[in-house]
Structure 1
């Protein structure tokens, strides 16, 4: 049985070596393994990960601001707020710390109909720092608005892409 196993292992090993490696010309006992560049990048590059924590349409009649809140984590403390104006009137957008009465973290920016804007930010990771943010959309001149908003969080800025 041991002889059979050794024979099977030898055949399998030589078949695998023949398909993925070639012997070096100078030393017949040395096998040169070549890995495709793309495969190597996939094997050794840190896998990117991010998650969407909010994705919805926010609309308003034009007489007050509307918004949404989101939370990032200590390990996923980079965030992207993407806003697309899907309505017929401009609006302003900003990101606030904690809630609608918090300090401004990004913006305000006016987004025209059909335009898009996004903010990429790194959140506070201190133990006492708030991990809550509020996306506020304000009407311009009391006009009704409609915005598609998506918020993505990640462990690095590169992972937001």
Structure 2
């Protein structure tokens, strides 16, 4: 299967943070940020695979700074790594002060998606071709992140076995 450039799946979303989106601190609800991240990452994975996808893992979400009422939330996502049927997606979240034109990093996340065929079974995806320094940096660390996810999954399975005995 021919590879696809990471830039082909890149997805950008910007929205205005309004009072109903925020908590009593005047900052966006973390759950709202999570929903935006999952939505952007889903689009990235569907663009790369040209298939329906399901979220298999959200192995990291690091909140770095809050986003305040009246600021824009800006998300950018792209494919960082692929295996046979799965795709790792990186999403970066920034806040933008629309009056000053200043942006700051507020969150980062890695998610894994599995592509599905018409019967809902896992489907092979094209390999990703990283081009930029940022894309290459994420690609180079992906195998280690995959190993960490696999180990975490095994530990949970073992714990589940013990809990049901």
TM-score bracket for the superposition, by shorter chain length: under 0.3
TM-score with structure 1 setting the length: 0.26
Structure number with higher strand proportion: 1
Q: Taking structure 2 as the reference length, what is the TM-score of the superposition?
A: 0.26
Query: Higher RCO, 1 or 2 (CA under 8 Å, sep at least 6)?
Result: 1
